[in-house]
Amino acid sequence: MEVLYMNGAGNDFMVLDARGEDLDFEALAKELCKQSGADGFMAVDNSDKADFKLHFYNADGTRGEMCGNGARCICRFAYDHGIAGEHMVVETDAGLVPGQRITQDLYRVTLNNPSVLDLHRKGDIAYAELGNPGVPHAVAQYTGDLWADADSLREQMRELRFDPAFPKGANVNFYQWVGPEEVRLLTFERGVEDFTLACGTGTGSTAAVLYLQGKLPSGTLTAHNRGGTLKVQVGGDGKAVTSILLEGPTEVTKTFYL
C-alpha cells in the first residue's frame, strides 16, 4: 500500500487511501509517524456526506477532530489520486470542510467556524474551538522575538497546553506582530507534545481572535510559521466569525510502501 509523506507549510503527515480497507489507524499513526518523524497521520475513507472522509490522528496515536494543514494536504491527495475534482468537500470529525485546488501546490480550505471563542479565557489568553466538536486552541500575543525565544518558551507553552482553563487540552499559539495584519506564529501542539513548523487551525484560530479584537481591518491575516506562510481570510460582522478561509502550500515529499 502506498503511503505519501506530505507537508503543508512544514506541518507534515503520512497519508494513505483507506477506502475499502480494514486498518488499525491508531497503530498505523504511531508506527508511520515514528518512522518518518511526521506530526500526524491521515487516511482517506468513503463518505455518504461528502466527497470523502478524513481520519486524522496525531503522532502519539490520539485522534484529532480536524487539522487545517492536513485538510489542505488531503485535498491535494484526493485530487492527485482522482478521488475528487478541483472543488471538493471533506467530512471531518469537526464537520464538513470545503476545499479548493488553486494551483498544483496551493490549496485553500474553509475551516470550521468557532463553536467556542472566548477572548479572555485565562487573563489575556484567548481560547477558540473550531468546529463542533472543536479543535481547541489557546492564543496569546508575545512581544519579544518569538522564534529566537522559542526554546525558552517551550515549558511555558507546555504548561498552558495542560492548563485547567482549557478542559480538552489546548494547542498553544503565540503570535508576534511584524506588520499590519501580519504576524509570526509559534505553535505547541497536543498529540505531538512539542512545537510544529505550522498549524492551520492554530493560524485560523489566531485570525479569528484578532478579528474579534478589531485588529484585522480587512479580515486578512498573513501568518509566517517557521515552515511557511499561510493566509487567512475571516468573514463576519465584527461581533461574530462566519467564515475562515485558510490558504497555503502543499508538498509531496516522499513515497513509502507498507
User: Is the distance from CB of 43 to CB of 92 less than 8 angstroms?
Assistant: no
Annotated active-site residue 75? The verdict is no
Annotated active-site residue 33? The verdict is no
Q: Considering only the C-alpha atoms of the chain, give the largest distance between any 2 of them, rounded to a whole number of Å.
A: 50
Q: State the cell numbers at 129.
A: 474551538
Helices and strands counted in the chain (H then E): 4, 17
* Cα–Cα dist 214/74, whole Å: 33
**Close Cβ partners of 106 (under 8 Å, ≥ 6 residues apart):** 247, 248, 249, 250
Among residues 33, 73, 75, 199, which one is catalytic?
A: 199
Give, in order, the Cα–Cα distances in Å from 88 to each of 72, 78, 80, 116, 242: 11, 9, 13, 26, 20
**Close Cβ partners of 2 (under 8 Å, ≥ 6 residues apart):** 16, 17, 255, 256, 257
* Cα–Cα dist 43/28, whole Å: 10
Give, in order, the Cα–Cα distances in Å from 171 to each of 159, 199, 214: 11, 9, 23
Q: State the cell numbers at 123.
A: 487573563
Among residues 33, 67, 73, 75, which one is catalytic?
A: 67
Catalytic residue positions? 67, 199
